[in-house]
Each structure stands twice: as structure tokens, then as C-alpha cells.
Amino acid sequence: MTALDVQVNSADPACPGQAPLLPVVGTGIEVPLVTGDSLPYANLDYAASAPSLQSVADHLSEVLPYYASVHRGAGYTSQVCTALYEGARADVAAFLGARPDDVVIFTRNTTDALNLLARCVPDDGPGGGRVTFLDIEHHANLLPWRRGQHRCVLAGTTQRATLVSLRAELEARPASLLAITGASNVTGEVLPLAEIVELAHAAGARVVLDAAQLAPHRRIDLASSGVDYVALSGHKLYAPFGAGVLAGRRDWLDEAPAYLPGGGAVREVTLTHTEWAAAPQRHEGGTPNVLGAATLAQAARTLSQLPSGALEAHEEALRTALTDRLNRLPGVRTLRIWRDSTTSIGVVAFTVDGYAPGLVAAYLSAEHGIGVRDGKFCAHPLLSRLGAPEGAVRASFGVGTTLDDVERLAAAVEQLVTSGPRWSYDVVDGRWAPTPDPRGLPDWAVSTTGAADRGTSPCEPLTA
């Protein structure tokens, strides 16, 4: 039995959610509370960036001594890294069920991948270069398409009504591409992908799947699903080393201008002419992120070893336990897009009457050692239509989460609803924070030339 087999089989399939499904780095770390105590960290923020799988960290340690630049190098370590990089490409293709002629391009993340594809949609083909998308999308699958011809379709109150609207739009105004999320990053609801692909192809449109949230939770098979392109991020797939993927049909990618003109993207250059390489190298100018690609591929290999249905059962147990508890609390509302959705990944968003989402998140961290996400999750139009224009709180989980983690969150929210916070909180530099905040950061996280800066985001609401 290999080490990977031991990791995969460590959880009891008869009791989903009781134990981690796979070991992740950081399990059991102690985090400080405002009371002066500490607790093991309950990481319920997987949808933002998932922790590294232990197998990924182990693989990084193994390959890091050989780190060198890939391609064109005669040195042994360069040859090792070239093989590692191109092998990662093949393993990611297998993970995604790619067709034999599909291309796998390594990018920085999902946003980068979708922006790359946006520059490849031909204006002279069927649909005239128009891109159609829903109003529920993450900004990464909404903003890139606005540079060209585009149509935004309002999702209905049911998935069935949404499909009807999509079909009517594509029949009335043919599009070259339908850009669709696999699972909402706000509510976790999964769209009926097979039906969406069928209606898009019937109207002559290709389909790109924003799988940033779906890929860590569900198997994706390009060949069997008929999806034309897929984009994903390594940092959400338990490989937080700065790589993403755009995979799919070759023709658009070979015919488009180089995404990042420079070394590695060309075959021949003169002072007046450039002969570009074919994809994927055409769009991977510069020295590639070999360690990001290698760790992403290792995460893909590890997740592929999970028994069929194990991840779905694990997350369903966690999601059911959390939503059942939250839905019983007065003033707590869990968010949904569609009345008839039946499948969701490990993401639950909710609001608490009387408390700003940022205050709830600060309270959970400061008094209970729980990490969640708050705000509008780079999906501002969706939060507005869900009646939460100031944002919500999002709990998200995955292979390292247990029922103890979600029960701890539910108990903390119940305490907030019934008794309120035990500490005082205020908006400091645009973010809710305990006041005072006696917790310190590790020395290695603090700049040696100035005070610690926990950072702010332009996406965060500034109101109290």
C-alpha cells in the first residue's frame, strides 16, 4: 500500500464527516483569542483559498531541491523540471478528462485563465464573438467578457426558469460562447451542466466552465460532458502555489494572439516578424511557474484517488449538519439562488439580523478561533439580488473539515444570537475588528521596516 492509499483511506466511509477525508497542512494549529486563551483553528474558509494537502507539501519538499528553469536547458535539474512541468500538464489533462486534442495552459488562476480565453473568442465565427453569461457569476466570469460583445441573462428564481431564459437568449441572439459557473461561490449551488451544454451547443455556442469552486468538490470530465473549456485555480484545489489552468479546444487558442508575448511563446523572431508557437506555449510567455504546476498536478492526482462518491458524502454530511443548525436560529437566514436546486458543494452563506457580516466574522475569529469569509465575495450583483447588498458570512469546507468544525461554528452563531458578543468591536481601517485587539501576529509575518498591516480590500464594505 502506498502513502497516498493510506491518506485516502484514513476516513471511515460509514461515518462521513466524522474525520478528515484527506490530511491537510495546518490541522491543529493554535490561534490566539482576545481572552488570552487559544484554540485549534477551525478553518471554514476553503472557498477563498484551501489549505495545502499534505501530499502536496510533501511533493514540494521532494522537488524543490531540483528547482530550475524549464525548457531549452541542458543541465540535469533543468531537464528534471522540464519533465516535471510537462508531466504536470498531462496529469491535469487526465484529471479533467480532456479530449486527445485539448490543450492545457498553465495560468496564474481562474481569473487569468478566463481573461486569456476572452482574447481568443473569434469575431468572425458563429455568434460573431458574442459572449453570454448569467448575472450570478463571480466577477472573474463576468468582467472579462465586457471588453467585447456580450449579453448578461438574469437568472430565474428556479434553475428550470434559468435554463428557459438561457435557451431563449441564445436562440434570439446567437453567441460564440456561453460562460457559466459550475457552482456558485456564494451559495454552493451546482448548476445542471449537462442540460446547459446541450442547449448551448444546440444554439451553436461553445461553453466555458468556471470551475474554480466546482473542481475541488466534483469530478469534471471534458470529454463526456461536452464542455469546451474549463478554468480553475490551484489555490482552491489544495495547491496554494500560484498556478491555474485553462484547458479546452485547440483551434481558438492556436489562432489567437499570444496572451503574454515574450520568451517561450515563439518559434522564431526577427526585427520585423514573429512566428508564434502553437498553444499551450503560445500563451505561456516568460519563465513558467514550474512549482505551481507541479503542486497543482499533485493535488489533482491525490483527489483522483478518492473513492467514487466519498467527497460528495463527506461534504453533504457537513453541509446538512450546518444548515440544519443555522436554519433553526432566529434571525439567521441562509442564502439560496434557486428554489428547485438539489445539489450543492461545501459552501453555505448566511446573514444574522442586527449584525454586519464583518462583525460576525470578526467575532467568530476573535472569540472562537473560527475562520470564515465575509463581504460580497466578488459577486456584487448576486448579493444584491439575494437581498444582502451589504454582504453575508460564508462558511466553506472540504477534505480537511469535520463535523466538530461545523458544530463549533453553529454553536458560536447561536451564542451570538442569544447573548451577543463578549468583546467590543468597531470598524478599524475599513474592517471590523475587536477593540482593543490583544492578539499578535507571528514575528515572521510582520514587516521588519514598519508596523503590521493586515490589509484591506476595495471589495470590502466600509460601512459600520
Three-state secondary structure call for residue 444: helix
C-alpha cell of residue 133: 453569461
Give the alpha-carbon dihedral of 273, 278, 281, 286, to 10 degrees.
Answer: 10
Query: CA 409, CA 372: separation in Å to the nearest integer?
Result: 9
Cα–Cα separations (whole angstroms), residue 98 to 89, 214, 226, 247, 296 = 11, 16, 10, 8, 16
Residues 6+ apart with CB under 8 A from 304: 94, 95
212 secondary structure, DSSP code: T
C-alpha cell of residue 351: 446573514
Query: CA 233, CA 67: separation in Å to the nearest integer?
Result: 22
Given the C-alpha cell 460509514, which residue does it identify?
14
CA angle 330, 365, 57 (to 5 degrees): 125
Cα–Cα separations (whole angstroms), residue 310 to 25, 321, 404 = 20, 17, 18
Contact at 8 Å (CB) between 126 and 176? Answer: yes
- In the beta sheet, which residues pair with residue 10? none
- In the beta sheet, which residues pair with residue 229? 208, 248
Q: Verify whether residue 15 is a known catalytic residue.
A: no
C-alpha cell of residue 402: 469535520
Residue of 407, 383, 408 whose CA lies nearest to 393: 383
Amino acid at 351: T
Catalytic residue numbers read 378
